[in-house]
């Protein structure tokens, strides 16, 4: 995509973008501010899982659901199996030195900083004004939601964008390292690793493979020396993920999770997810590199069998790409509507409808356009790599 450095791609002045962005962030934050959800997040919900993992890192308790349940009850927490690689629990060990509410505050500050870092990387990749990218990142409701619930989508976004930047700069080792570090959550790493495969980035894949080995050994230490932790991890996830889905199915927005909410089995949803990837990989192979790297995380969201709204922060690369690929007049209107609708609907029970349109609809449009390359809609231009 040939764009001038430091541009504002939308027909909205930067000061207005900050005002509108602040409104979006405030709207999605209302439940946390008005209902004082932060203590619940710290002791009962998302962050409680991370705090407990940090406190039990280095012991067998981390990967033993029964032992973790007993430990959590002794400490007044709600027990939740750690759904990340055990080695990632070390990242939360320092936060477990303070009480959960203080740990949540520190984690939220760190994640906000990581989202800003991701915005600065995006500015380099897409050629936009830095302040515009910061505003556009923090105005995206799933990003704010991820920060407030104590999740780590900001870290994942940094690694996704770092992989994209390294690929564009032909820094294979750096691309492989970023994608390999993203393996702390394998489902999030999958789109970027598949991209490396279809683009034949073998050196980068070699580095990612070395990172995978590193994660294995770090996880051995985190699980108290259990060399067979992958078996315990797989068993725990097979038991816990369906339960977690039932508890939060109202938040489903990906195609597989919506099918599960309608009564389909996990096996059926997994087949649908695999089919989406089979359709997407040829498009990722022949599309310009920037396009493919930007859109693959969006497809990952559309095809996920376990994706909640905060993970839609990973739609930002596709959003930034669309800002340069779409033409006016629909560009600014479509993107402004997507931001506003997502922020407003996320505080209602219908919030996932906006994410469905963005993630599944956006992925479907890209796949359709990829298979009809050269017969693109008149308001879109396929950028060069």
- What is the tens place of the pLDDT at every residue in 58-75? 999 999 888 887 888 788
pLDDT of residue 41: 87
Q: Is there a domain that residue 385 lies in?
A: no
Task: Kindly report the number of other CB atoms within 10 A of residue 202's CB atom.
Answer: 11
**Residue 26, domain extent:** 19-371
Nearest to 352 by CA among 257, 239, 274: 257
pLDDT of residue 374: 47
Q: Is there a domain that residue 383 lies in?
A: no
pLDDT of residue 46: 86
**Total number of domains in the chain:** 1
Q: Is there a domain that residue 46 lies in?
A: yes
pLDDT of residue 83: 87
pLDDT of residue 79: 67
Nearest to 175 by CA among 190, 196, 189, 199: 196
Q: Is there a domain that residue 2 lies in?
A: no
- What is the tens place of the pLDDT at every residue in 126-185? 999 999 999 999 999 999 999 999 999 999 999 999 999 999 999 999 999 999 999 999
Does residue 12 come out as left (phi exceeding 0), alpha (psi in the -120 to 50 range) or beta?
Answer: beta
Question: Side-chain half-sphere of 3: how many Cα atoms within 13 Å?
Answer: 25
Q: Is there a domain that residue 3 lies in?
A: no
pLDDT of residue 366: 95
Give the global pTM. 0.93
Mean pLDDT of residues grouped by 10 in the chain (385 residues)?
A: 64 90 91 78 87 93 85 78 92 94 95 98 96 96 94 97 97 97 95 97 97 97 95 84 75 90 87 96 94 97 92 97 91 92 85 89 94 53 42
Q: Is there a domain that residue 14 lies in?
A: no
pLDDT of residue 341: 92
The span from the CA of 304 to the CA of 307, in Å, is 6
Beta carbons within 8 Å of 33's beta carbon, 6+ residues apart: none
- What is each CA distance from 33 to 30, 37, 237, 311, in whole angstroms? 5, 7, 33, 21
Q: Is there a domain that residue 86 lies in?
A: yes
Q: Is there a domain that residue 108 lies in?
A: yes
The span from the CA of 367 to the CA of 174, in Å, is 28
């Amino acid at each position: 995509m040939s764009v001038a450095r430091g541009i504002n791609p939308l027909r909205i002045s930067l000061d207005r973008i900050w005002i509108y962005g602040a409104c979006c962030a405030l709207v999605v934050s209302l439940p946390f501010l008005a209902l004082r959800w932060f203590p619940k997040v710290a002791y009962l919900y998302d962050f409680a899982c991370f705090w407990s993992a940090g406190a039990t890192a280095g012991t067998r308790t981390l990967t033993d659901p029964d032992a973790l349940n007993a430990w959590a009850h002794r400490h007044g927490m709600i027990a939740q199996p750690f759904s990340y690689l055990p080695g990632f629990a070390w990242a939360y060990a320092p936060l477990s030195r303070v009480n959960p509410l203080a740990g949540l505050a520190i984690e939220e500050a760190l994640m906000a900083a990581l989202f800003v870092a991701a915005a600065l990387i995006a500015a380099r990749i897409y050629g936009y004004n830095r302040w515009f990218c910061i505003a556009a990142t923090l105005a995206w409701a799933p990003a704010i939601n991820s920060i407030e619930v104590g999740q780590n989508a900001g870290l994942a976004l940094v690694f996704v964008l770092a992989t994209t930047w390294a690929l564009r700069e032909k820094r294979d080792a750096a691309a492989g390292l970023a994608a390999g570090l993203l393996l702390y959550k394998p489902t999030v790493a999958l789109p970027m690793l598949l991209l490396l495969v279809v683009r034949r980035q073998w050196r980068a894949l070699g580095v990612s493979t070395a990172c995978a080995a590193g994660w294995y050994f770090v996880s051995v230490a985190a699980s108290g020396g259990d060399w067979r932790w992958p078996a315990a991890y797989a068993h725990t996830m097979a038991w816990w993920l369906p339960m977690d889905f039932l508890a939060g199915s109202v938040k489903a927005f990906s195609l597989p999770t919506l099918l599960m909410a309608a009564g389909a089995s996990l096996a059926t949803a997994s087949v649908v997810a695999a089919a989406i990837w089979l359709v997407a990989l040829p498009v990722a192979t022949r599309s310009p590199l920037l396009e493919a790297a930007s859109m693959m995380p969006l497809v990952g969201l559309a095809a996920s069998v376990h994706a909640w709204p905060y993970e839609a922060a990973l739609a930002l690369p596709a959003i930034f790409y669309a800002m340069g690929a779409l033409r006016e007049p629909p560009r600014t209107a479509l993107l402004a509507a997507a931001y506003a609708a997502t922020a407003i609907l996320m505080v209602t029970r219908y919030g996932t409808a906006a994410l469905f349109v963005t993630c599944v609809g956006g992925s479907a449009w890209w796949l359709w356009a990829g298979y009809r390359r050269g017969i693109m809609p008149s308001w879109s231009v396929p950028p060069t790599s």
